[in-house]
Amino acid sequence: MPFNVRRFTDSLEAHIGGDVSAELKRKCQEFGTLKSPTRKARWIKSLMDTLDSEVDESVRKGIMEDCGRMCISRNTLKIAKRHKQKAKDIDDFLDRLNQDGIGGGELKRDGNIIHASYKRCYCGSVSKTKVPISSTYCNCSCGWYKELFETALERPVEVELVDSIIQGAQMCKFIIHI
């Protein structure tokens, strides 16, 4: 999924206000004028650099996690819930998600931890560049995974970013505490 300005500005409003929020919202008005994937990726890098320099880490993470929660499709959540209902246990549930390619198709459980990984960046707006972008951006994927597993398992989960392709890693890797 590409970067979505509305999701980002909605999340900004929920987490911060004042001059920083206004500056970031002004910056977001530029995004619609950008045509090339490379320019869009550079713009997102600049946006994340501003977010990193002006906003506390826990707030940045919350902003981007909210974007990820809004990004996951209702259909994906419906499929995940159906898989959970049909699964005999958590491993069967993960197998079903993997078969459908949900969550990257590489979900593996070790105790109360699910290891998730994917071999390509799924964000069309940043995957087109080789310029490293702040890992703050990848908290969007953390939010996506949170929404997926909290909806299907009907309980809170915590998600940690381990590695990120846009930071130069070969794969994106996450740890999901269930």
Q: Where are the domains of the chain?
A: 5-177
pLDDT confidence of residue 1: 67
Whether residue 20 contacts residue 63, with contact meaning beta carbons closer than 8 Å, is answered with no
The DSSP letter of residue 72 is: S
pLDDT tens-digit profile of 155-170? Answer: 999 999 999 998 889 9
CA distance 151 to 160: 18
pLDDT tens-digit profile of 42-58? Answer: 899 999 999 999 999 99
Identify the CATH number of the domain defined by range 5-177. 3.30.1380
Please report how many Cα atoms fall inside a 13 Å half-sphere around the Cα of residue 39, on the Cβ side: 7
3-class state of residue 139 by DSSP: helix
pTM more than 0.75: yes
